[in-house]
Structure 1
Amino acid sequence: MAMNNSDNNEAIADINVVPLVDIILVVLIIFMVTAPMFMKPTINVNLPKAASGDQTAPSKLNIALTADGRINLNGSFVTEEDVRAKATDEVGKNADVQAIISADKDVPHGKVVGLLDIVKGAGVKKFAISIDKK
């Protein structure tokens, strides 16, 4: 087979996408392996279910009551006094701060009311109670 010399002057019009696909797959695998390291640790709270819940805005006061009665404030376990101090501090920064309270469905009602009393006593006027949608 003879080669034609006029073919050498033509531009290369084909793009080889195999190396691009290989690199994208490697990057995808790296993200899949490292993603669990960057996820926030969570507390297992079994929220009560309700059909009439609305979305709430993110808050600086995220309070969770676990089934064993411990209080978690923004990701760390604290005492009631720590909740009161943090709520007072946030009210000083922003008078319209909202507290979001998540309580396990097995927590006695009195504990939730006590926590609401602490938050409202610190000056928080708005609060929301987290639920799971039915």
Structure 2
Amino acid sequence: MAGAAQDNDDEITGINVTPLVDITLVLLIIFMVTANFIVRETVEVDLPRAAHGGETVQGLVNVVMDKDQKLYFDGAEVSEAELLKRIDEALAKDKDTRAIISADQSINYGRVMRLIDLVKGQGIAKFALNIQKDAAPAPAPASP
């Protein structure tokens, strides 16, 4: 009977993926629920379009001028004097503060340049102009 004893234990030949799928679905549900709570404070601005603009990383400060020429600093409406004060506070915290400047495309060029001048005048050397990227560049005008 030495050879008659057989081992009837079933060997596990595959990996059970059911727990992995369960955990993945739970994580997906958690992600979907929390994504609804992540809302960025924004001001409605019709940005100018450009074909070759790159994506920008949100800077430390966001300066916005809407179509009514109201100023916003990081989502909060401010006066011009308050804007200068808040920029000074941001620079006091970090000398390398950068600014993302957004202006509605209906605002005239002079007002946008004044806003840029205000930001640069307070000591922010690095800034970017926020645009809405076009899918394709506009055709160049024909030369006569």
TM-score normalised by L of structure 1: 0.75
Q: Which residue of 1 aligns with 2:115?
A: 115
Task: State whether structure 2 residue 8 is matched by structure 1 residue 7.
Answer: yes
* Partner amino acid, structure 1, of 2:24: I
**Residues 31, 115 of structure 1: alpha-carbon distance in 2 compared, 3 angstrom cutoff:** same
CA separation in 1, counterparts of 2:22 and 2:83? 51
CA separation in 2, counterparts of 1:26 and 1:74? 34
Identity %: 41
- For structure 2, which runs of at least 5 residues remain unmatched after alignment? 135-144
Moved over 6 A (4+): none
* Partner amino acid, structure 2, of 1:6: D
Root-mean-square deviation (CA, aligned residues, Å) is: 2.6
Q: Which residue of 2 aligns with 1:67?
A: 67
Over residues 58-81 of structure 1, what are the superposed CA-to-partner deviations in whole Å (9 max), with x where a residue is unaligned? 432211111222212122222211
- For structure 1, which runs of at least 5 residues remain unmatched after alignment? none
Over residues 67-125 of structure 1, what are the superposed CA-to-partner deviations in whole Å (9 max), with x where a residue is unaligned? 22221212222221121112223344555533221111112333222222322332333
Instruction: Note the 1:1-134 alignment, pairs <5 A.
Output: 5-8=6-9, 11-54=11-54, 56=56, 58-134=58-134
TM-score normalised by L of structure 2: 0.71
* Partner amino acid, structure 2, of 1:62: N
**Residues 22, 126 of structure 1: alpha-carbon distance in 2 compared, 3 angstrom cutoff:** closer
